[in-house]
Amino acid sequence: MRVDVVTIFPEYLAPLELSLIGKARATGILDVAVHDLRTWTSDVHRTVDDTPYGGGPGMVMRPEPWGEALDELGPGHLIVPSPAGVRFTQPLAHALAGEPRLIFACGRYEGIDQRVLDHAAERMPVTEVSLGDYVLFGGEVAVLVVLEAVVRLLPGVLGNADSLIEESHADGLLEAPVYTKPAQWRDLPVPEVLRSGDHGRIARWRRDQSLLRTARRRPDLLPALPPQALDRHDRAA
Ligand code: 6GU
């Protein structure tokens, strides 16, 4: 997968060098380039923003540098982090993991002139993506979040593909709690069922814990489950 990130703060993307994303880059699964938007300015002050038409607080990113940047880097699936975007979810992460080329446009201030997105949408897919219902200064941290969620889904990045099948959100439910040795820690034992060796009982217990956690912590996820997601035993539990 090829990824380009355009930002006025390239240093913010330094963590892309680290950890599993850095490893995916080293093995050639991922090719990332971070670009400074000001590369595509032509005035001496390298201006990227101006006051909003119609008035109001803050500044808006001017269309010209973005247009030049996207002319040079595109086409690709353009991702624009924004609190006004569609919610970033695991299914969207899977969809993006299937793309050969992603371009992230990091807005700052009150956002990017809408014509940049409208113009780009005539030649490439454009998705405005939000992490959740709160406001960040800009899109850079959101790019780190989206890329981490997407890159770990690329074939060959995770050592154990089973960890993708069992994790939270893979089936629309939260994952059951996990334990490791020692069997007794301070005054707290590991639940007996997990040490029973009875794989049927263990699977049933994990499934029940998943359902209980989801019902208590994220009841909003339950109506979104496909009808076949709950089996006969689940309904009884
Ligand atoms: Cl993706 N960007 C910004 N600026 N704020 C956000 C966000 C994104 N998601 C939630 N808040």
Would you state the pLDDT for residue 30? 92
- Structure token digits, residue 231: 């089996």
Probe residue for ligand 1, chosen from 87, 117, 136, 146 as the CB with the greatest number of ligand atoms within 8 Å: 136
Position 235 pLDDT exceeds 70: no
For residue 67, which of 109, 20, 6, 22 has the smallest C-alpha distance? 6
User: What is the set of domains in the chain, with CATH numbers?
Assistant: 2-151 (3.40.1280.10), 172-236 (1.10.1270.20)
Range with the poorest average pLDDT among 44-53, 103-112, 142-151, 223-232: 223-232
Q: Whose structure tokens read 């007794």?
A: 184
Question: What is the Å distance from ligand 1's center to 132 Cα?
Answer: 7
Q: How far is CA 172 from CA 4, 61, 162, 234, in A?
A: 30, 37, 16, 14
Strand partners, 166: none
Among 197, 56, 39, smallest CA distance to 48 is for 39
Candidates 8, 60, 117, 131: which one to mutate for ligand 1, based on the most atoms within 8 Å of Cβ? 131
The residues, any chain, with a CB within 8 Å of residue 138's CB and separated by 6 or more, are: 7, 9, 81, 106, 107, 108, 109
Residue 132 beta carbon below 6 angstroms from any ligand 1 atom: yes
Q: How far apart are CA 30 and CA 150, in angstroms?
A: 11
Q: Is the ipTM of this complex over 0.90?
A: yes
How confident is residue 21, by pLDDT bands cut at 50, 70 and 90?
confident
Q: Is 76 in the pocket of ligand 1 (CB under 6 A)?
A: no
Structure tokens at 130: 């939000």
Helix axes 19-26, 140-151, angle to 10 degrees: 60
Pairing relationship of beta strands 49-50 and 60-61 according to DSSP bridges: antiparallel
pLDDT tens, position by position, 174-198: 999 999 999 999 999 999 999 999 9
User: Ligand 1 atom 2: the closest Cα is on which residue?
Assistant: 82
Q: What is the pLDDT of residues 118-172, one digit of tens each?
A: 999 999 999 999 999 999 999 999 999 999 999 999 998 887 777 788 788 888 9
In this prediction, residue 231 carries a pLDDT of 73
Position with higher pLDDT, 23 vs 200: 200
**Separation of CA 221 and ligand 1 centre (Å):** 22
The pLDDT value given to residue 193: 98
Q: Ligand 1 within 6 A of 111 CB?
A: no
pTM for the structure as a whole: 0.92
Q: What's the pLDDT score for residue 4?
A: 96
Cβ of 79 below 6 Å from ligand 1: no
| Residue of 165, 184, 188 whose CA lies nearest to 175 | 165
Q: Count CB-CB contacts under 10 A for residue 87.
A: 10
Measured in Å, residue 85 CA sits from the centre of ligand 1 at 8
80: pLDDT confidence band, cut at 50, 70 and 90? very high
- Report the pLDDT value the prediction gives residue 55, as an integer from 0 to 100: 98
Counting ligand 1 atoms within 8 A of each CB, the residue from 59, 82, 106 with the most, and so the one to mutate, is: 82
- pLDDT at position 227: 77
